């Protein structure tokens, strides 16, 4: 067949596909997991493959992201979720944003010469809500054992993961801030630098923390050694968080807000 004819046949086949999107479609009858990092999506898909619920998969993915994308996710952050039950056509909302500690009062800030919440530093830190959010969601919608959901994250933290390009760029941008604190430099930098593109990065201390949560549940975080470590760091940096701020924390189930948009109700 002449070369020009081969080109015509090839072009016709592309046209027949009507491929206008940037990537090939993902089509599944069992469920799909979409995250910002391949390893997290893969972990979630494996959970679904084992018969886990969407919530099980989301927790597993979020835990992996806390390892491979630490500047965006982590047990020290907050969580918000909306869950849809197809059988009952009902929506559940969870507000797992951590509250301020008792010592974080207006008077206390003014005494430190602060008349607004700083953009960084210990005085912006609130009680982390993510772990309790995972726990509450799993109690209500989970299927697989709690501990199973953290095994992928524990594996990557212990054995390492290759750092991808966007995450590496963000990491490198935070080096000066990470170098200020001894703990940040010790656990999240390599000889004072960010990991390189494709470099295998390990966080064994985070693997240990994830194992504690996997074995002990939310109380291991809020009433155990992890809370104690956070409080120790808070005190060292001049923060005011107290044990009761952690021990008494609980997420809040809410009715999601909605708005009508061109005939659709958006939650």
Q: Cα dihedral sign for 250, 245, 186, 212?
A: negative
| Rounded Cα–Cα distance for residues 114 and 246 (Å) | 24
pLDDT at 82: 96
Burial class (CB in 10 A: 0-12, 13-18, 19+), 29: exposed
Predicted model pTM: 0.88
Checking if the pLDDT of 214 tops 60, the result is yes
Cβ 116 vs Cβ 63: under 8 Å: no
pLDDT at 5: 46
Cβ 85 vs Cβ 140: under 8 Å: no
CA neighbours within 13 Å on the CB side: how many for 246? Answer: 25
Checking if the pLDDT of 16 tops 60, the result is no
Segment 144-164, tens digit of pLDDT: 999 999 999 999 999 999 999
Checking if the pLDDT of 185 tops 80, the result is yes
Sequence ranges of the domains in the chain: 31-95+128-160+202-228+245-260, 167-199
Segment 92-130, tens digit of pLDDT: 999 999 999 999 999 988 998 988 888 888 999 999 999
pLDDT at 22: 74
pLDDT at 15: 53
Residue 41 contacts by C-beta under 8 Å, 6 or more apart in sequence? 33, 34, 35, 61
- Beta pairing partners, 201: 161
3-state DSSP assignment of residue 81: strand
Residue 238 contacts by C-beta under 8 Å, 6 or more apart in sequence? 122, 123
Cβ 258 vs Cβ 265: under 8 Å: yes
Checking if the pLDDT of 4 tops 60, the result is no
Question: What percent of the chain has pLDDT above 90?
Answer: 82
Segment 221-240, tens digit of pLDDT: 999 999 999 999 999 999 99
What residue ranges in the chain does DSSP mark as E strands?
79-85, 90-96, 161-162, 200-201, 252-254, 259-261, 264-266
């Amino acid at each position: 067949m002449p070369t020009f004819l081969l080109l015509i046949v090839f072009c016709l086949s592309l046209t027949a596909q009507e491929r206008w999107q940037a990537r090939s479609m993902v089509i599944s009858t069992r469920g799909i997991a979409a995250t910002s990092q391949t390893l997290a999506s893969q972990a979630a898909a494996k959970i679904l493959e084992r018969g886990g619920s969407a919530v099980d998969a989301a927790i597993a993915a979020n835990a992996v992201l806390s390892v491979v994308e630490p500047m965006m996710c982590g047990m020290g952050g907050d969580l918000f979720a909306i869950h849809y039950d197809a059988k009952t056509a009902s929506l559940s909302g969870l507000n797992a944003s951590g509250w301020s500690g008792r010592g974080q009062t207006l008077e206390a800030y003014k005494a430190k010469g602060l008349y607004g919440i700083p953009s960084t530093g210990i005085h912006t830190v609130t009680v982390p809500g993510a772990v309790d959010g995972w726990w509450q969601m799993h109690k209500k919608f989970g299927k697989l054992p709690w501990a199973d959901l953290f095994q992928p994250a524990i594996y990557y933290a212990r054995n390492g993961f290759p750092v991808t390009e966007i995450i590496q760029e963000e990491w490198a941008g935070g080096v000066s801030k990470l170098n200020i604190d001894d703990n940040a430099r010790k656990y999240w930098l390599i000889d004072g630098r960010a990991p390189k593109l494709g470099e295998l990065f390990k966080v064994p201390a985070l693997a240990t923390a994830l194992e504690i949560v996997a074995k002990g549940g939310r109380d291991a975080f809020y009433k155990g050694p992890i809370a104690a470590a956070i409080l120790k760091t808070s005190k060292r940096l001049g923060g005011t968080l107290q044990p009761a701020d952690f021990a008494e924390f609980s997420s809040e189930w809410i009715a999601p807000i909605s708005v009508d948009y061109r005939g659709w109700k958006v939650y």
